[in-house]
Structures are given as C-alpha cells and as structure tokens.
Amino acid sequence: MPQTPSDGPAPVDERVSVALCTYNGAAYVEEQLQSILAQTVLPGEIVVSDDGSTDGTVELVERIVSSSPVPVLVRRNARALGVTRNFESAMRATRGSFIVLSDQDDAWHPERLARALTEFAARPELQLVCSDARLVDGAGAPLGTTLFGSLSIGDLERSEIAAGRAFPILLRRNLVTGATVMLRREVFETAVPFPAPWVHDEWLAIIAAARGPIALLDDQLVDYRQHGANQIGVAEPTLGYKLRRLTERGRQRNRDIADRIAGLNERLDVLGDGAPFATPDAVRAKLDFERFRAALPAARWRRILPVLLRAPRGEYRRYASQGVLDIARDLLQPA
C-alpha cells in the first residue's frame, strides 16, 4: 500500500464524510482504514456500516479506530441489507457535504481525497468525481492493469464526459466504480431511495450525470483488490471473456436492465427540472429497446428476424453496453 510521508498532522476537511461498508472483511479492513487515516487531507468523519459480519470485523474496526484522529461511527445492521442497501444506510448516517464511498478490501493512495477535492474546487459545477485504480491481487500485488483499462473506456466516451454530456454515455453502460467515487451530498439526496435492481454506484452515477457534469480522473488513486470473493469486481475484457458472455443465459439480465431503466424513467418524471442534464426521450427509447430485448423468444431461430429488423435503427450502438456486439449476444445467448 502506498504510504504518505510523516511530516506532521494532516489537515482535516470537515466537509468530507467517508461511508465504509463491511461484511466479513477482517482480512483486509485494517489496511483500508489505515490508508484512510494516512490521507494528506483527512476526512471530517468515517461511518462504518457492518452488514452482519461473523468474522470479528466489527471488533477489529473498533480496536483500530479507538485511537483515530478522525471521528468514527461504527454501526451494526440489525439484519443483513445487502451491499446496495448497506451503502445507502451508511450514506444516510453521514453529515458532510462531500461523501466518499469506500470498500472494505481496497487501499487508498495518500492523495485520493485531496485530488478529488481539488477537482471539485476547480469545477464547482461537478456533481461527482471518480478516478482510475490500480488492480491488485489478494496480497496487494499489482495485476498489471487498471480499472479504466478493464472497462475499455473509449476516446469518444471520455470526450463526451469531459464536455458535460455524461448522461447518454452512462445510459448505455456504467463506467463509474463506487470504490473511487466522491460526490456531492445533493446527489445522494436526489438519489434516495435507491431503487431495485440498481447497484448503488451505477444509480448514483446516473443521477449525478442527470444533475450536471461528472469527472473521470486518470490518476490511479486506489488499489482495487481482486481476490475472488469480491461482492462486486471487474473482469479483464479479453476476447475469451467476451465470447463467454455470448453463451451466458441472458433473459434475466435483460429483464433486470429493463426494470432499471423503468425505475430511472419514473424517477426523472419526479425530478423534473431537478435533472437538467438528463435526456428523457433517450431514456424512454432505451426502455423500449430493453423491453424488446427482454421479450425476445427463447428459441434462437425465432429471434433472427426481429433482431435483424431492429438492428438498422441504431439502438444497439446507442443503448447496448457492448454496442453492435450485443446483436450477436441477442441471437446466440441461451434464454
């Protein structure tokens, strides 16, 4: 884990709250907490929300933070909420005007908070800042790739986001990983309650993009640990991986995406002028497209005509996460 030089107490920014969620994380949570407490700019508070650990995680956290220079609130959920609801609960307990999400098994580079705060100061219109991350294994050894590399973020996606047009990009596919996020409290307040079946970081990202610009920082500010037991992880986008996805069962996935977009459409109706960067017509068009995909027949041969008739409309390019490759997915995937 990167270390910061010890040259006196770091300044504290009372505006910053960290929401750290834990579940059976005793193997890694100490390293993560120490990396938070080694920031060049310290947060004003840390809220730890535990989702029913049975491996001593909470007791370990309480021991570590007993001498913390930062106030730490440790909460135990009365019943397991799952990762998305646990983050929502943790964020509700924070008080800062900037909220930083933290997984239990990563390690922050010392300048993570300072770098995001600098970006917000330079661009007051920003709603959310996320960064690249170095992918590491369970022992913390670099895997030789980065988070953005694994997502294969293209030049067009980068330029559109930099120009303040992130919403259509994130409507097509999510590029924001919660472990690297700092966001304005107003984004969270607009986003709650988090609707199922959205994952917390995807939902916060699309709501942030509906409110205003977001920023992707190329700085690798987090060691993002991949150890085989991640609740949410990443996969290297190799040709083999893409081919395997073509043969995975897809109907439930398609139904979940359609349900997510339906929930987004409903929330945007409620928000109205509170989501000035959203494109409601595009949301409705994507909803129609995803419902079409979810309703494709189970028999592959019966999908050929409807998919090939739909393909020239350009919706796969605009709305499918893999673009035109999803034409092959819709034709080949088992139901």
The amino acid at residue 72 is: V
Chunked mean pLDDT (size 10), the chain, 335 residues? 59 98 96 97 98 96 94 96 97 98 97 98 98 96 95 95 97 97 98 95 98 98 81 54 61 91 97 96 97 95 96 96 92 87
pLDDT at 28: 96
**pLDDT confidence of residue 2:** 45
| Interatomic CA distance for residues 230 and 232, integer angstroms | 5
Q: What pLDDT, on a 0 to 100 scale, did the predictor assign at position 8?
A: 73
User: Does residue 335 contact residue 250 with C-beta atoms inside 8 Å?
Assistant: yes
pLDDT, residue 9, reads: 84
Query: Model pTM?
Result: 0.92
pLDDT, position 95: 98
pLDDT for residue 54:
96
Could you give the domains of the chain? 12-225 (3.90.550.10), 239-332 (no CATH)
Q: How far apart are CA 14 and CA 140, in angstroms?
A: 30
Q: Distance of CA 147 to CAs 133, 218, 221, 266, Å?
A: 5, 10, 11, 31
**How far is the first Cα of the chain from the last one, in angstroms, to the nearest whole number?**
44
